[in-house]
A and B are shown apart, each in its own frame.
Chain A
Amino acid sequence: AQSVAQPEDQVNVAEGNPLTVKCTYSVSGNPYLFWYVQYPNRGLQFLLKYITGDNLVKGSYGFEAEFNKSQTSFHLKKPSALVSDSALYFCAVRDGGNDMRFGAGTRLTVKP
């Protein structure tokens, strides 16, 4: 069965600095990987996904993610963090067209 792991419960960065939120995955076939963001009292919002092709995927709000097959990782990045980026971030993996499994989430705090 497919799964993802987010090794950090919390990530703190200063505004204007680059940010990275880590994710590693485990799948038996081709990985379909996703990042979502959750703001307080809201549902999850889709940020970006990797299906195939370029290892660097660009998404919403200036976020991007780098797929690394050899390290089985799919880290979320942003060159310059904003205070408004503070939220809960989830990595997810989908087995083909079937179920979607999420990591435990990483709380990102961007300090002014």
Chain B
Amino acid sequence: DAGVIQSPRHEVTEMGQEVTLRCKPISGHDYLFWYRQTMMRGLELLIYFNNNVPIDDSGMPEDRFSAKMPNASFSTLKIQPSEPRDSAVYFCASSLALYGTEAFFGQGTRLTVV
């Protein structure tokens, strides 16, 4: 298995533009997580899905952020409109549903909003 695949690896966009980050989880995994990593706030859980259904989106910072999982193989995190403070590394991770199972992380998308 190729692991969790995220695209793009790097994204530079202008303030006000829409940004879409993509994630392909490991096949067979039931859970998908989106995290944001910054120096100031560390690793924050934004939202997670179970069997394609959003379970907890309390970590999504604002209405400008939205996430979808249309099928078991694909998820998106969208920011519209983007702002400079959204600059961060965004990670996607997936795991099985078994208790105590570890999550596997993608390489991340480094987003820079100028």
Counting chain B residues whose Cβ lies within 8 A of the other chain, the interface size class is 20 to 34
Closest residue of chain B to A98 (Cβ to Cβ) is B55
> Provided the pairs A44-B105, A45-B105, A46-B104 are in contact, do residues A97 and B99 lie with their beta carbons within 8 angstroms?
yes
Q: How large is the interface on A (under 10, 10 to 19, 20 to 34, 35 or more residues)?
A: 20 to 34
The proximity string for A residues 74-112 relative to B, scoring 1 for CB distances below 8 Å and 0 otherwise, is 000000000000000010001011111111110000000
Cα distance A44–B28 when bound, in Å? 20
- B contact set with A: CB distance below 8 Å: 4, 31, 33, 35, 42-43, 45, 48, 50, 55-56, 91, 93, 95, 97-108
- Contact check, B43 vs A90: say whether CB atoms are below 8 A apart: yes
Complex contacts, A43 vs chain B, CB 8 Å: 4, 91, 105-108
Q: Does A56 contact B (CB under 8 A)?
A: no
Which A residues have a C-beta under 8 Å from some C-beta of B?
32, 34, 36, 42-46, 49, 51-52, 90, 94, 96-105
Taking CB atoms, residues of chain B closer than 8 Å to A34 are: 102
Complex alpha-carbon distance, A99 and B31, angstroms: 9
Nearest B-chain residue to A50, judged by Cβ: B100
> In the complex, what residues of A have CB within 8 A of residue B42's CB?
102-105
Q: Are A99 and B56 in contact (CB under 8 A)?
A: yes
